[in-house]
Structure 1
Amino acid sequence: MKRITFYFDVVSPYCWLAFERLPVALQGISHEVEYQPVLFGAMLKHHGQLGPAEIAPKRAWTYRHVLWLARRHGLTLRLPAAHPFNPLPLLRLALACGEPGTLPNRHVCETLFRHVWTTGDNADDPQRLEALAQALAPRRAPQGEDVKTELRAATEDAVRRGVFGVPTFAVDDRLFWGFDALDMLRACLQGDPWFDSEDWHAAARWPRGASRREG
C-alpha cells in the first residue's frame, strides 16, 4: 500500500478540483491518503513569488481555467463572492477537528472545500465560519496556539521537502504538483519504470542558463 500526502490550501480552486478527482485517479490502486493543510501564502513568500490571483491577467485566466476544468470533469465549482480570501481560519479549523498530531479526514476536508467552492458566498464570512465550526464540532480551539503551531510547522516542513505550491502530492521522495499531475501520479503508483529513469533524476541537475536577477 502506498501512502500519499496531499498538501492543500482551501484558497486554491485547483486543490478543490484535485480533491474531487483524486479518488478517480487512484481507482484500483492500494493506497492511503493523508490530507495535510498548509498555508500557500507562506510558500509564496518563502520563494519570493506572487500568487496567481495577485497578477491581473493571470487572475482572470485562473478563474476561466478552473471553471472550464470543472465543467469538463462534471464537477461543481462556484467562485466565492470574493477571492483571494484569508484561509487561515479554515485551515486551522481543519487541524482542530483532530487530536494533536493528527490530520483531518476526508469528510472534514470535503466540508471545508464545499464551504468555499460550491456556494458562491464569502468564504470568510464570520457567520458562515461560525456555522461551519458548529457543524464540524472541532475537538480543539481553532485559534489555540497548539493548532497555529501545527499549521506553521507543517508549512515549513513542506517547504523543506520541496513543496512550492498546491495541490502537491508526495509519494516516497517524489512530488507531483498541480491538478494536471494526477495522471502522472497514477502512472508512478502503477510502477511505470520512467520514474526511475535518468529523465526523472536529471531534471533536478539540469544546468541553469541566463537569470533575470543577474541583470
Structure 2
Amino acid sequence: MKHLRFYFDPISPYAALAFERLPEALAGCSYSVEYRPILFAALLHAVGQKGPAEIEHKRQWTFRQIAWSAHKLGIPMQVPAQHPFNPLPLLRLAWASAPAGGTPNRLTVEKIFRHVWRAQGADAASPERLAALAQELNPPRDPASEEIKENLRDASEQALKLGVFGVPTIEVDGKLFWGLDALEMVAAYLRGDPWFEQGDWEAAARARPGVVRRAMH
C-alpha cells in the first residue's frame, strides 16, 4: 500500500475538484491518504508569483475551465460570493479538528471544501457561516491557539522544502504530482506503470539551459 499526502488550500477550486475526484480516479489502487492543509499564499510568496485570481484574464479563464471541469465530471460547484478570500480561519479549523500530532480526516476536509464550493455562492469567509461550521466540526483544539497557527506554518514550510509550489499537490514516494489533471498520473504510478521506473520521470525534468529573461526597459 502506498501512502499519499494531499496538500490543499480550500481557496483553490482545483483542489476542491481533485478532492472530490480522488476516490474515483484511484479506484482499484491500494493507498492511504493524509490530508495536509497549507497556505497557498505562502507558496506564491515564496516563488514570487501572483495567484490566478489576481491576473484578470487568467482569473476569467480559470473559472471558465473550473466550471467546465465541474460540468464534465458531474461535480456540483458554485463560486463563493468573494474570491479570493482569506482562507486562514478554514485552514486553522482543519488543523484544530485533527488530533494533536495528526491531520484532519476526509470527512472534515469534505465539509470545509463544501462550505466554500457547494454553498450556492455564499460568502466563505462570513463570520456567521464560519461559526456554524466550527460548531458542526466541534474541533478538539482551539483554532485560534498558537499551537494551531504553528501547525499550519510548519506544514506550509515543510511543503515548500519538498518542492510543493501549488495546490492541489499529491506526494507519494517523494514524487510530486500537481493539479487536478495529475490524478491520472498518480493512478498510473500506483498501478506500477513502468514509465516511472525506466528513467522517463527523471529525464523529463532535466534542465535545458536556455535564454534568460531580462526586465524590459
Shorter-chain-normalised TM-score: which range?
over 0.9
Is structure 2 residue 194 aligned with structure 1 residue 185?
A: no
What's 1:140 paired with?
A: 141
1:75-116 Cα shifts (integer Å, max 9, x gaps): 010000010000000000000012221100000000000000
Structure 2 SS opposite 1:205: coil
Instruction: Supply the AA of the counterpart residue of 1:154.
Output: A
Aligned residue runs from structure 1 range 8-87, under 5 A? 8-87=8-87
Show structure 2 runs of 5+ residues with no match. Answer: none
For the residues of structure 2 that align with 1:68 and 1:207, how far apart are their CA atoms? 34
- Number of aligned pairs? 215
* Aligned residue type for 1:179: L
Separation in structure 2 between the aligned mates of residue 117 and residue 211 of structure 1, nearest angstrom:
40
How far did residue 210 of structure 1 move? 1.1
Q: Find the counterpart in structure 2 of residue 195 from structure 1.
A: 196
Distance in structure 1 (CA, Å) of the matches to 2:208 and 2:17 = 34
3-state SS in 2 of match to 1:165? coil
Residue of structure 2 in register with 1:128 after alignment: 129
Runs of 4+ off more than 6 Å: none
Matches of 1:59 and 1:81, distance apart in 2: 15
Counting only pairs closer than 5 Å after superposition, residues 136-215 of structure 1 correspond to structure 2 as 136-213=137-214
Give the TM-score, by structure 2 length: 0.97
Aligned mates of 1:197, 1:40 — CA distance in 2: 33
Per-residue CA deviation, residues 3-38 of structure 1 (Å, 9 max, x unaligned), is: 000000000000010000000111111110000000
Q: Aligned partners of 1:21, 1:8: CA distance in 2, in Å?
A: 14
Query: What per-residue deviation string (whole Å, max 9, x for no partner) do you get for residues 117-162 of structure 1?
Result: 0111000000000000000001011010000001000000001001
Q: How far apart are the structure 2 equivalents of 1:208 and 1:114?
A: 44
Aligned equivalents of 1:160, 1:37: Cα separation in 2: 15
- How many angstroms does 1:213 deviate by? 3.8
Q: CA RMSD in A?
A: 1.0
Instruction: Give the counterpart letter for 2:94 in structure 1.
Output: A
Percent identity of the aligned residues? 56
Shift of 1:205: 2.6
CA distance in structure 2 between the partners assigned to 1:44 and 1:213 by the alignment? 21
Q: Distance in 1 between matches of 2:172 and 2:209?
A: 27
Shift of 1:214: 7.1
